[in-house]
Amino acid sequence: MRSNPKPGPAERLWSFSFSAKLLLFSLLLVSTAAVDPSIAETKSERCTGYAHQAAQATPTTTGVARGAARGAVIGAVTGNAGAGAATGAVVGTVRKQQQQHHSFQYYYDKCMSR
């Protein structure tokens, strides 16, 4: 039987001085911070995310409801408001998508030029 058993990893860790523990903790903190995936993103990926969020937040001047209203007015003049509203809704949807695409491209180009 041994009188002094060999200390385990936990006992060896706590036997270090305070400065050694602080250094070990700092190294651990720095190594986990370096693994953050946002640091590894390329400029293009960062700008894509920025442009997507900015384009979604940018209001558009058209959409389904406004297109349907325009179509209904035109349809009422020509005699078929329902068909005009349906056509206007489709046109409004396409216009909204085009505006969002142009907004995305603007913000992306602005970010990449920095």
23 in a structural domain: no
108 in a structural domain: yes
Q: Each residue's pLDDT tens digit in the chain (114 positions)?
A: 556 667 666 666 566 677 777 777 777 776 665 555 555 578 999 999 999 999 989 887 778 888 888 888 888 888 888 888 888 888 888 888 899 999 999 999 999 998
In angstroms, the CA 36 to CA 46 distance is 14
75 in a structural domain: yes
In angstroms, the CA 28 to CA 66 distance is 56
Q: What is the pLDDT of residue 103?
A: 94
According to DSSP, residue 17 is labeled -
Q: What is the pLDDT of residue 13?
A: 58
14 in a structural domain: no
29 in a structural domain: no
In angstroms, the CA 14 to CA 1 distance is 25
91 in a structural domain: yes
The closest alpha carbon to 64, from 96, 29, 35, 33, belongs to 96
11 in a structural domain: no
**Full domain range(s) for residue 85:** 37-112
The closest alpha carbon to 53, from 109, 110, 103, 113, belongs to 103
Q: Are 92 and 65 in contact (CB under 8 A)?
A: yes
Q: What is the pLDDT of residue 85?
A: 87
DSSP letter string over 99-112? HHHHHHHHHHHHHH
15 in a structural domain: no
Q: What is the tens place of the pLDDT at every residue in 88-101?
A: 888 888 888 899 99
Structurally, the chain folds into a number of domains equal to 1
pTM as predicted: 0.55
